[in-house]
Structure 1
Amino acid sequence: MTAPAVFKPSSALSKVGPSAISRMMAATAEMKRQGRDVIGLHVGEPDFNTPENILDAANRAMRNGETHYSALDGSPAVKAAVLEKFRRENGLNFTADEVVVTTGAKMMIFSAFMASIGPGDEVILPAPYWVSYSDIVEMMGATPVILPTKAEDGFVLKAADLEAAITPNTRWILINSPSNPTGTIYSAEDYAPLLDVLAENPHVWLMVDDMYEHLIFDPGTFVTPAQLRPDLRDRILTVNGVSKAYAMTGWRIGYGAGPLPLMKAIRAVVSQSTSCTCTIAQAAAVEALTGPQEAVSAYLAEYRSRRSLIMEELHTIPGLVCAAPAGTFYAFVDWRALVGSITPGGEVLADDETFCHYMLQEHGVAVVPGAAFGAAGYFRISFASDEQSLRQGMARIRLGCAALTR
């Protein structure tokens, strides 16, 4: 009799599994498949359709035969659009060799780490952080160094904490602004002392994830570090993409700009992994970055209205605390006053996982545990959903909280 096959996963996956968001998506989908009524406030994806002008550009590209391989780091047209975006919106001038277009911004982050870190290296991650950051670092055999930030500081990393965390093994610090999950935006004043610390530690590089750049509720507050310290540009990788601002998550177009030696190494990773991104999606991204921008403003106005709705509801639910996010479409909610509460079924809500499981299974609303973002005692709500879903979801959270006893 043939022995059953035994699968042995690679050492790169020894500490990594599906993200908390992916697990919540799977659980929600299964409940819906079973016919259960679930309100999903867990997915970080615009509920809008991609604008018509972008769809038209993709259609033209297909009809014109733009269905073959492009250069592995992006077609000349999409790279020109990225270069113009940086010049127009950020006052940054890069060369085409300093830009790489990837299959989503996550692939840019993955490729940059694949190209630059390994066992023994450390990457500093201010917490809360996007769930994939730490897992990607661990997949490279490196060590994520988690630096907690405080709600009372607006979840902004302080220079003294950064300086204390840097060791001879530190290779990168990664900052996401506006932040998923908190909505925090780093101002020029917030960045300045951190960049001073970076300047004093020439072995440390800075990666900035600017994916939510256009989802900011107070105009004029966005800056990116390469603008502020041109003298540090040879150690800064600026990551961005079209997914969130243009409702193009499924098109999978991200990009990064940085110093030539790094971008050359990233090209090598891309060449042996994805090769070029979808050429039709590249043509769509050109239109997104260079075409009319009215849709972006319209989406932002809708998110602003939804933020107001969510905050009004949260402020009336005993046990929950949340500051209004300055950007993104997320609210990061503090539920620590309810930790240890008991559900009507007798379960003790000891941590974020049990709280979110209770809300999903007993009240049919999906949210994401804060521990997945490196911040236990919180959960994340996405308000990238229509008003009716948001009102129903918040009503269910209210009911779930009210049913708890101490």
Structure 2
Amino acid sequence: MNLPLNRHLAAAQPSATYQVIDRVAALRASGRKIISLCAGEPDFDTPAHIREAAIEAIQAGHTRYTQVAGMRALREAIADKFRRENGLNVHWQDTLVTSGGKQVIFNALAATLNEGDEVIIPAPYWVSYPEIVQLCGAKPVIVACDGSSDFKLTAVALEAAITERTRWLLINSPANPSGAVYSRDELKALADVLLRHPQVLILSDDIYEHLLFDDIRFNTLAQVEPRLQARTLTMNGVSKAYAMTGWRIGYACGPHWLIEAMEKLQGQQTSGACSIAQHAALAALTGPQSFIQQSRQVFQRRRDLAMRLLNETPGLHCATPQGAFYLFVSCAALLGKITPAGSHLHTDADVASALLEEAGVAVVHGSAFGCGPYLRIAYALDDATLEQACLAIQTFCHQLFHQRQD
């Protein structure tokens, strides 16, 4: 017998990314060879000095509970990072350490949202944004930002979306899934709108901060407009920059009243993050930073490789992303086609499914991120395998255009 669930949970959708990952696992278990371009994590090993710090923490007995908000040494390092790299006036008590970056977002929204509140989310968006808003009982207000605006929210669109019930704006730069990066001028234009609406809080998701290409400079909203710092939660983490996705350490800085509320919630939820992972994160933030530049160079090379091959593929097109490690590829010209196996491609989800089943390549459909018909392709794997995957996609698309479409 199935008993009723919480109504907000019952209405929520599972992560499309993890659904694809589960399908990949099932196909591999059946003996199929699948190349996955769907996981949003670096393929590198965590740098050695970070791993060694974790081992030393275990051997030193640092295996017990920490404070709910995180070890003071780590919080001080986080505050120093925000001051040094982002120009934010941050005290260690204005920071919070969480079990992954997703918990920052969930804690912030759960601590502040009530029935009827609205959260502005530019689309394409990370798949969890609207679901978290909905789980908190509020309404996600999706603002379409297509290729004509380089997948970025404009000041005009922001102004039009704000109502008296708007509680938050979520902004992600560099962005998942598009790789779009907001310039200083673009952020300033958004800030000018937000200054006219003091009821709106801002969550700046900077998790891909260090994955910027072509000598692009990173800017975050509270840095561009310091008058907004009093209502901006700036979040980050060690997962993408230091190849530490499984270590599950996110962090944020923001107004003290909000950090206190998030800490209160976390105290009844997970308590402090893993003590060993916190020591590793401390080593990441305070130790050698050469890994960041090295990985950035590798990702830019991979971006250029994948983008060249996919833009040479009939029916596909992608603009040049400035950050993260994703290509957001238009597949509009494939819709209406029939695959060699007889599948009708009506949507980008159909295209993604056919690529998996017939070409052995896993991608995530763009409509899962609120913007179709696109495919999100993560190029976080070695060059040879990445090239093999892109060539398999090429072959699949060539077949669509060189067979009879009855």
**TM-score under structure 2 normalisation?**
0.97
The CA distance in 2 between the partners of 1:91 and 1:17, in whole Å, is 38
Q: Give the counterpart of 1:265 among 250, 261, 265.
A: 261
- Check whether the contact 2:231–2:255 (CA below 8 A) recurs between aligned residues: yes
In the alignment, does 2:183 pair up with 1:187? yes
Q: Which residue of 1 aligns with 2:122?
A: 126
In the alignment, does 2:172 pair up with 1:214? no
Q: Which residue of 2 aligns with 1:318?
A: 314
C-alpha RMSD of matched pairs (Å):
1.0
In the alignment, does 2:159 pair up with 1:163? yes
- Check whether the contact 2:75–2:93 (CA below 8 A) recurs between aligned residues: no
Q: CA deviation at 1:285?
A: 0.3
In the alignment, does 2:93 pair up with 1:100? no
Q: CA deviation at 1:345?
A: 2.7
Q: Give the counterpart of 1:401 among 381, 397, 403.
A: 397
Q: Taking structure 1 as reference, are residues 220 and 92 closer, same or farther at Cα in structure 2, changes over 3 Å only?
A: farther
Q: Which amino acid aligns with 2:181?
A: I
The CA distance in 2 between the partners of 1:148 and 1:18, in whole Å, is 22
Q: Which range moved further: 346-355 or 304-313? A: 346-355
The CA distance in 2 between the partners of 1:397 and 1:85, in whole Å, is 41
- Check whether the contact 2:238–2:281 (CA below 8 A) recurs between aligned residues: yes
Q: CA deviation at 1:347?
A: 2.2
Q: Any residues of structure 2 matched to 1:294-333 within 5 Å, and which?
A: 294-333=290-329
The CA distance in 2 between the partners of 1:269 and 1:218, in whole Å, is 40
The CA distance in 1 between the partners of 2:142 and 2:134, in whole Å, is 12
Q: Which residue of 2 aligns with 1:25?
A: 21
Q: Which residue of 2 aligns with 1:36?
A: 32
Q: Which residue of 2 aligns with 1:202?
A: 198
The CA distance in 2 between the partners of 1:41 and 1:126, in whole Å, is 24
- Check whether the contact 2:316–2:329 (CA below 8 A) recurs between aligned residues: yes
The CA distance in 2 between the partners of 1:311 and 1:41, in whole Å, is 13
Q: CA deviation at 1:216?
A: 0.3
Q: What secondary structure is seen at the aligned counterpart in 1 of 2:122?
A: strand
The CA distance in 2 between the partners of 1:72 and 1:304, in whole Å, is 38
Deviations 1:295-349 (A, max 9, x none): 1111111111101110110121011110111001100000111111111233211
The CA distance in 1 between the partners of 2:349 and 2:311, in whole Å, is 23
- Check whether the contact 2:96–2:251 (CA below 8 A) recurs between aligned residues: yes
- Check whether the contact 2:146–2:371 (CA below 8 A) recurs between aligned residues: no
Identical aligned pairs, as a percentage?
47
Q: Which amino acid aligns with 1:342?
A: I
User: Where do 5+ consecutive residues of structure 1 fail to align?
Assistant: none
Q: Any residues of structure 2 matched to 1:27-106 within 5 Å, and which?
A: 27-106=23-102
In the alignment, does 2:380 pair up with 1:362? no
Q: CA deviation at 1:6?
A: 2.2
Q: CA deviation at 1:109?
A: 0.2
The CA distance in 1 between the partners of 2:342 and 2:70, in whole Å, is 56
Q: CA deviation at 1:220?
A: 4.9
The CA distance in 1 between the partners of 2:350 and 2:150, in whole Å, is 26
Deviations 1:114-141 (A, max 9, x none): 0011220110000101000010001011
The CA distance in 1 between the partners of 2:316 and 2:114, in whole Å, is 40
User: Where do 5+ consecutive residues of structure 2 fail to align?
Assistant: none
The CA distance in 2 between the partners of 1:341 and 1:119, in whole Å, is 44
The CA distance in 2 between the partners of 1:196 and 1:216, in whole Å, is 25
The CA distance in 2 between the partners of 1:404 and 1:101, in whole Å, is 49
Q: Which amino acid aligns with 1:167?
A: T
In the alignment, does 2:283 pair up with 1:287? yes
The CA distance in 1 between the partners of 2:315 and 2:288, in whole Å, is 44
Deviations 1:89-125 (A, max 9, x none): 1111211221110000100000000001122011000
Q: CA deviation at 1:236?
A: 0.5
In the alignment, does 2:193 pair up with 1:233? no
The CA distance in 2 between the partners of 1:220 and 1:162, in whole Å, is 24
- Check whether the contact 2:124–2:178 (CA below 8 A) recurs between aligned residues: yes
Deviations 1:338-391 (A, max 9, x none): 111111233211112111110001110000000111001001000000111101
Q: CA deviation at 1:17?
A: 3.0
Moved over 4 A (4+): none
The CA distance in 1 between the partners of 2:214 and 2:139, in whole Å, is 36
Q: Give the counterpart of 2:341 among 337, 345, 360.
A: 345
- Check whether the contact 2:78–2:92 (CA below 8 A) recurs between aligned residues: no
